[in-house]
Structure 1
Amino acid sequence: MSILFSFLGGILMGLTVAPTNYWFFAWVAMIPLWLGIKKESLPKTLMSCLAWGCGYHGLALFWITGIHPMTWMGISWLNSILIASFAWIFITFWGAGFVVAWGASFYFLLRYIDDSKKVVNDLFFKILLGAILWVLFERLWSFSPLWWSSISYSQSPYNLYILQLLKFSGISTLTAIITTINALWAEGIKSFYDYFNDKNSLFTYQLKGLLLPVYSLVVLMFFHGLGYLFYTQPITDNPEEVITVGIIQGNIPNTIKLYESGVGRAIARYTESYEKLSQAGVDLVITPETAIPLYFDDIKTKTKLYPAIIKEKTPIVLGAFGSKENNFSNSLFSIDAQGKVIKQYDKVHLVPLGEYIPFANILGNFINRLSPLDAHLIAGEKNQIFITPQGKAIVGICYESAYGEHFRQQTKQGGKFIITSSNNAHYSEAMPSQHHAQDVMRAIENDRWMARATNTGYSGIVDPHGNTIWLSDIDQYQTYQGEIYRRQTKTLYVKWGDWLSNLFAIILLGLFIYTFLGFSSIQKD
């Protein structure tokens, strides 16, 4: 029964993320998972964790199946189903594996600490340990090639009060709070059950446990109140730092995007929109990821867009392919008023299974049997600096929105505003909604204005508090003219990075050493 409840808890957590956005469920959705940690049974613990992880990640990431059908790429309908199903199952179990690793570590540490007799079996200690482990495992997970669904982004984009706390230590701040609140509720429920069913339990232990739900409400209100204080602080921008941006959402379906008809439509739409926005007086035009799916050298010589840039003299950030070591890169080109490329940014975090095959030695043969695609992009170098005529920008292409550290490093190096460029045409509407939620978090973490251009939606403008100033329609050809501002502030997160998880790692190491010494002394006695 606990395994079923854990699965339902995972489903509940899956409903917190965009586009359903029932973010308030996140504060209770981990209760079944926590109650599923059984010190007397490792198999039950692991199964409960697996069930919760599959429920959460399976629902939150179900949008990956939107890549089907891929018949437009020459892939058969059956193979398309197999590829989509494999991708969904793989990323679901990848995320669930993280939860299982957390549960196993929690189980063994609780057993180990009990045996050491060095630390009193205290409810608050158990809660702290569980929260620390979850934060640390999420941090490790964020270094992997498959990273998207942290529990912290359950609160984005609507719970803007709590999201302000991202400025402290990034997503680890929210992850720690969410885990702690759920643990307080779970231990309170367990103590309530013990109070009526275990007459041999210590009354003081029961009383402490019965008060835990009260503590959870106090903690929840405290952090929301703290976030409210940050949110209500006015955003003070220097009028001289304003940038009028023009965003183009070309809406070129992937079914035609890479073929002659799609390339022709893209050239026509982006040229026409560029001219329109230039004549409206914008300072910078921003296009989506691979807006023109050609090498930049071909864009210069074979399209009407480049002559339009020379004529209108409005700087543009253009998504296209770059040449790199006899391969190609997914790139953004910063082009000035004279048509000169002053900076090229190459996408660093490529999409696993889409832009490259992770663990190619193992999965490569399987994927290649299912798909005729044999071309793969080359990743860009880390720590690139992107210069525009309007100043140093912080940039990310598509999947990179999930990597907070990617944006933090650019902000620390002097980036004054954020540009994200994406093409989510191959997924269902859920994915663009989640992508926007990720971008809202990046804007808050770095205290920067953000302009976002996508192929089919959602394009938008987000302020440093995470307010969405403008959001495009989905699957519509649109242009938009709006204002963002250059900023030079540095949040605690920008200065120190994810210091909270580093602190937790030190605490865990100290605890391990302390209990190890205690266990050793017991063994000698």
Structure 2
Amino acid sequence: MSKSNNFYSPLIIALLSGVLMGLTVAPFGAWFLAWFALAPLWVLIFNPAYKPKLFRLQLAGVWGLGYYGATLSWITGLHPLTWMGVPWLSSIAIALFAWTFVTLWGTLLAMSWATSFFWISQKLTTSSLTPIFRVLIGTTLWCVLEHIWTNGPLWWSSLSYTQSPHNLVILHLGQYSGASAVTASIVAINGLIAEVWIKTRKNSKSNKYYFIPLSLFIILHLIGFNLYNQPLVKTQEAAIKIGIVQGNIPNRIKFDYYGLRRAIEGYTTGYLKLVDQGVDAVLTPEGALPFFSRDILDSSLVAAVKQKGIVAWIGGFAERPNSNTYANSLFTFTKDGKIYSHFEKSKLVPLGEYVPFEEILGKLIRRLSPVTARQVPGSRNQIFDTPFGRVIAGICYESAFPEQFRRQAYAGGEFIITASNNDPYSQAMQMQHHALDTMRAIETDRWAARATNTGLSAFVDPHGKTLWISGHNTYETHAETIYRRQTQTLYTRWGDWLTPLLTILSILALISCRLGGATAQPNKT
């Protein structure tokens, strides 16, 4: 084989491996690929034939491009932005830049993992348990890095969400330690497959060890299956019938006269229709009425709330006093026509709701929001009390950050409501967003209602089962009964305790290897 082939073949394998991992989410949903799609990269990293350490960085880089590039390709749906006054070519450039930026941000995680993993693994060469320790440390590193990325401003594609909303059984491990429990399971299985493969190449009799990853896969699913089959208590006292209005107001018309009129009429009509169906409350999407709260108070929708006396959660903007800023919010309106409470979005979308490195990128993007004021994030420690008790709330992008929901569940939130505007993105993105909300419902053991502008609105039970889901780019209303719950999962009480535990075990493994190496050294002389 030529030197050129020796260089490009592993890169192609790594890229294809990453693409396979990317096929696990919508629009393909091949979730089962996640259980072995990382293994080829693992094998390549530890191939002794690849001498330059930099080459391992390249392998992880192309794997990351394959995975994150595939899962986040929906971002190109930003184009066209001509409705915002952006020229056609500039619109294409902005969409490609956004896709490239977020893909590289995710790729950096994979590269950080491969580099640190390979360096640390060199400390294990003296241990007879190197494969097991290596799986432990590789799993720990990925969980630690995902934890770091989750606490940053830009996050979406955890390995855990490759299983949602299809493999609900394994997602129930999230009730123990959140998304990290699912991510750790996926990485560990991949690592065991890779280590057996490496051992098999040295000794063909090692094929028998494939029972180890298979056994772990079965055990983890049996644990999840037990949680999945726990009965859901439904009492009349805890029941609440919620109606959803999916307004289907495209962003390109949302802020002109026709769009505003269509929004007001559509949400008012939908509210009245749902009230006639006997709902207790009506939920609208993010920015359903794109006004400041003082203007929403004068709308026909709030007039209908005063007339009918049924609570409405209305998406709009909370104006900050004495400043030219506002917060994307969800308002609780009651029968007196006043705002009972409101929840402010705390996780803003980079390039969509604020401009990172604004001094540089602000010159490229003339205007990101038709509202003249500047959007600011809400507090991270909000409590959302309503006439139905305390609620767990999330607005759009926040669905990707599980700690937002865990904290509110721990504070007494009894059910989840999320409001999103996923226009102009494709149905694939909307399905990925639904997958994230499904995970949040399972982790907190809560019923969830999610209202979106153009799709896919849905109701989800605490086991992650979708009770109803809307279409894409359609105007719809739907009512469903959900139930308030006060249960506290292990994850709700303790948060992500698994990652620190894995970190401690990995440190102990490294110490054990170093001590073993020091003991063995005199025997070699």
| Identity rate, percent | 45
Give yes or no for contact 1:46–1:100 (8 Å, CA) kept in 2.
yes
Give the aligned partner of residue 25 of structure 2.
17
Give the aligned partner of residue 276 of structure 2.
279
SS at match of 1:276: helix
Please give the per-residue CA displacement for 1:118-172, whole angstroms capped at 9, x wherever unaligned.
x445211111111111111111111111110001110000111111111010111
Query: Are 2:366 and 1:371 aligned?
Result: yes
Q: 1:460: Cα distance to partner?
A: 0.5
Where does 1:78-157 land on structure 2 (aligned, <5 Å)?
78-114=89-125, 117=126, 119-120=127-128, 122-157=130-165
State the Cα RMSD in Å.
1.9
Give the aligned partner of residue 59 of structure 1.
70
Give the aligned partner of residue 246 of structure 2.
249
Task: Summarize the Cα distance change of 1:453–1:211 in structure 2 as closer, same or farther, 3 Å threshold.
Answer: same
Give the aligned partner of residue 202 of structure 1.
none
| Match of residue 317, structure 1, among 303, 313, 328 | 313
C-alpha separation in 2, matches of 1:460 and 1:372: 32
Please give the per-residue CA displacement for 1:427-457, whole angstroms capped at 9, x wherever unaligned.
1111100000000000000000000100010
Give the aligned partner of residue 39 of structure 2.
31
Which sections of structure 1, spanning at least 5 residues, go unmatched?
197-206
Please give the per-residue CA displacement for 1:37-87, whole angstroms capped at 9, x wherever unaligned.
136431221111001100000000000000000001110000000000000
Q: Which amino acid aligns with 1:75?
A: V
SS at match of 1:355: coil
SS at match of 1:248: strand
Number of positions where the alignment pairs a residue of Structure 1 with one of Structure 2: 507
| Match of residue 443, structure 1, among 441, 445, 448 | 441
Q: 1:36: Cα distance to partner?
A: 1.7
Query: Are 2:405 and 1:397 aligned?
Result: no
Query: Are 2:336 and 1:338 aligned?
Result: yes
Query: Are 2:60 and 1:49 aligned?
Result: yes
Give yes or no for contact 1:36–1:44 (8 Å, CA) kept in 2.
no
C-alpha separation in 1, matches of 2:99 and 2:362: 14
Please give the per-residue CA displacement for 1:357-400, whole angstroms capped at 9, x wherever unaligned.
2244xxx4234224344753100011101111111100000000
C-alpha separation in 2, matches of 1:42 and 1:239: 63
| Match of residue 294, structure 2, among 273, 293, 297 | 297
Please give the per-residue CA displacement for 1:270-310, whole angstroms capped at 9, x wherever unaligned.
11111221232210110000000001101113x21221111
C-alpha separation in 1, matches of 2:44 and 2:449: 43
Task: Summarize the Cα distance change of 1:511–1:193 in structure 2 as closer, same or farther, 3 Å threshold.
Answer: closer
Query: Are 2:84 and 1:76 aligned?
Result: no
Q: 1:329: Cα distance to partner?
A: 0.7
Which sections of structure 2, spanning at least 5 residues, go unmatched?
1-8
Normalised by the size of structure 2, how large is the TM-score?
Answer: 0.93
SS at match of 2:297: helix
C-alpha separation in 1, matches of 2:350 and 2:10: 34
C-alpha separation in 1, matches of 2:499 and 2:366: 40
Query: Are 2:315 and 1:307 aligned?
Result: no
Q: Which amino acid aligns with 2:270?
A: S
Normalised by the size of structure 1, how large is the TM-score?
Answer: 0.93
C-alpha separation in 1, matches of 2:361 and 2:484: 47
Give the aligned partner of residue 489 of structure 2.
491
Give the aligned partner of residue 269 of structure 1.
266
Give the aligned partner of residue 200 of structure 1.
none
C-alpha separation in 1, matches of 2:144 and 2:311: 43
C-alpha separation in 1, matches of 2:172 and 2:213: 20
Give the aligned partner of residue 4 of structure 2.
none
Q: 1:259: Cα distance to partner?
A: 1.5
C-alpha separation in 1, matches of 2:138 and 2:354: 35
Give yes or no for contact 2:136–2:506 (8 Å, CA) kept in 1.
no
Give yes or no for contact 2:69–2:103 (8 Å, CA) kept in 1.
yes
Where does 1:202-213 land on structure 2 (aligned, <5 Å)?
207=205, 209-213=206-210
Judge which range, 129-138 or 480-489, deviates more: 129-138
| Match of residue 458, structure 1, among 451, 456, 459 | 456
Q: Which amino acid aligns with 1:175?
A: T
Give yes or no for contact 1:324–1:378 (8 Å, CA) kept in 2.
no
C-alpha separation in 2, matches of 1:141 and 1:523: 40
C-alpha separation in 2, matches of 1:88 and 1:278: 42
C-alpha separation in 2, matches of 1:62 and 1:464: 30
Give yes or no for contact 1:3–1:47 (8 Å, CA) kept in 2.
yes
C-alpha separation in 1, matches of 2:145 and 2:296: 44
| Match of residue 507, structure 1, among 505, 513, 523 | 505
C-alpha separation in 2, matches of 1:235 and 1:299: 38
Give yes or no for contact 2:22–2:71 (8 Å, CA) kept in 1.
yes
Q: Which amino acid aligns with 1:286?
A: L
Q: Which amino acid aligns with 1:70?
A: L
SS at match of 1:464: coil
Give the aligned partner of residue 345 of structure 2.
347
Q: 1:319: Cα distance to partner?
A: 0.3
Q: Which amino acid aligns with 1:449?
A: W
Judge which range, 224-233 or 487-496, deviates more: 224-233
C-alpha separation in 1, matches of 2:313 and 2:514: 56
Give the aligned partner of residue 204 of structure 1.
none
SS at match of 1:36: helix
C-alpha separation in 2, matches of 1:60 and 1:398: 18
Task: Summarize the Cα distance change of 1:139–1:335 in structure 2 as closer, same or farther, 3 Å threshold.
Answer: same
